[in-house]
Structures are given as C-alpha cells and as structure tokens.
Structure 1
Amino acid sequence: MQRPLLLYAATWTVMLTATVALVSFSPEMAFVSAISPSSSFSRACDSQGQVGRVRVPLDVPGEVVCLPAHLFSKMTFLDFLVPPVFAAIAVAASACFVRALALWEEAD
C-alpha cells in the first residue's frame, strides 16, 4: 500500500516543481526576448538614432527607455540555476508548512 502512495506523492511533487519552475522562468524569458537585438521592440532605439542602445520594457505603455547595451550581459549558468532551486525550496517549504498544520488529520 505504501508504494502507490509514494508514487502519487512523487508525481505531485514533480508536477508542482515543474509548474513553479515554468512560472518563474516565463517573465525572465519574456524580458530577454523583448530586449534581444532581433526583437522589433528593441529596434525602436535604432530608429531614434540611438545605435548601440537597448530598449527596456516599462510598466507604463508608450514610454520608451533606451539604455546602453554594455549594461546587459549574457545569461550565466548561475542565472539559469537560481530560479529552479528557489522554486524547489519554495515548494518544499510550503509542503512542510501544510504538513505541520496537519489539516488532513481528524479531530479527537
């Protein structure tokens, strides 16, 4: 009886961890895509005569901020490693918190 329960728990843990990792990477990938030189979004700086600059997305629609390209560097291995590790820690901590509350145990 323990083996199916362990498989069930492992499956849900993997699913939750994958979901959190995907959600944590989505904004980062959108940002990198927006500031890449081939993006039409970043070409707006070149059309304004500011060659060698990168347009950075803002929360305010219609606002344009162009920053020097040397302020941005390529993604390192550490940048790739930190979000999934943080996601795994967050999932593990939330699972421990829920277990500590013992919500599924019957009241005496």
Structure 2
Amino acid sequence: MSLWLSDFIRYLHTWPLLIYAATWVTLLTLTVAVASFSPEVAFIAAISPSSSFSQRCKTKSDGTFIRVPLDLPRDVICVSPHLFTNSYFDLIVPPIFAALIVAASAFVVQAMGLWEHDQTT
C-alpha cells in the first residue's frame, strides 16, 4: 500500500477536521480574491464610457489631458499623459503583495490550530 493511501486511511476518522480546514481555506481564498479583484473592478467602472472620468478634460489649451479622481466624488485633476508611464515597481510590487497575502493566510490557518491534535508530543 502506498504511503499517501495509508496516510489517507489514518486520517479518515478526522473528516470533521478536514471539512473544517477546507472551509477555512475556502473562506481565506475568497477573501484574497475579493481583496485582489475589487481595485480592478473599481478601475473598470471608472474607465467605462458611462463614467464621468472617461470624458475629456475641459481645459483652455488644445492639449490632451487625463482625468484623475481625487478624494471627493466630483473632484478631478487633469494631468498630462506623459506623467503616466510604467515603472520598475509595477513589476515588483504585485508579486510581493500576493506572496504576503498568501503567507498571512497560512499563518491565520496555523493560528486557528487546525492540526493541533497531530502535534502533541
């Protein structure tokens, strides 16, 4: 009998604990998904054709400007497009953020003590 099958049979009596662990992992995964995708949904909503931010800036010069929202709902600032360029941080920050979220989720699961009964000495 293979090693993984014997481990599965040994843990068969711990179904409630496995269901509990699967529930927490699912909850943490959904939380990370909502936290990750909510800024993208907000961005898509802001650049949609019906949004006021997708309209042109009303300036006296004939140059092209980009509308950037401020803290208050109707306040915007118009800036030149050359200020929006890709940077080195655009490649580094998202993977680091994702790794931190996954590590924090793992520590939360460990802090809940899901496998505490297996670690007795």
Q: TM-score, with normalisation over the residues of structure 1?
A: 0.58
> Which runs of structure 2 are paired with 1:1-108 in the superposition (5 Å)?
1-34=13-46, 36=47, 38=49, 39-45=51-57, 47-48=58-59, 51-72=63-84, 81=95, 83-99=97-113
Q: Secondary structure at the match of 1:60?
A: coil
Distance, in Å, in 2 between the alignment partners of 1:96 and 1:30 is 33
Relative distance call for 1:37 and 1:25 in structure 2 (3 A) is: closer
Give the gaps of 5 or more residues in structure 1.
Answer: 103-108
**2:119 match:** none
Larger gyration radius, structure 1 or structure 2: 2
4+ residue stretches of structure 1 with deviation over 6 A? 76-80
Give the gaps of 5 or more residues in structure 2.
Answer: 1-12, 117-121
Higher relative contact order (CA 8 A, sep 6+): 1
Size of the aligned set, in residue pairs, is: 97
1:34-66 per-position Cα deviation (integer Å, ceiling 9, x unaligned):
2x3744323141x43565322112112432212
- Aligned residues: CA RMSD: 3.4
Distance, in Å, in 2 between the alignment partners of 1:16 and 1:23 is 11
Distance, in Å, in 2 between the alignment partners of 1:11 and 1:62 is 42
Q: TM-score, with normalisation over the residues of structure 2?
A: 0.53
Relative distance call for 1:59 and 1:79 in structure 2 (3 A) is: same
* Residue type at the aligned position of 2:101: A
- Contact 1:42 1:56 (C-alpha < 8 Å) held by counterparts: no
- Contact 1:25 1:83 (C-alpha < 8 Å) held by counterparts: no
- Contact 1:57 1:65 (C-alpha < 8 Å) held by counterparts: yes
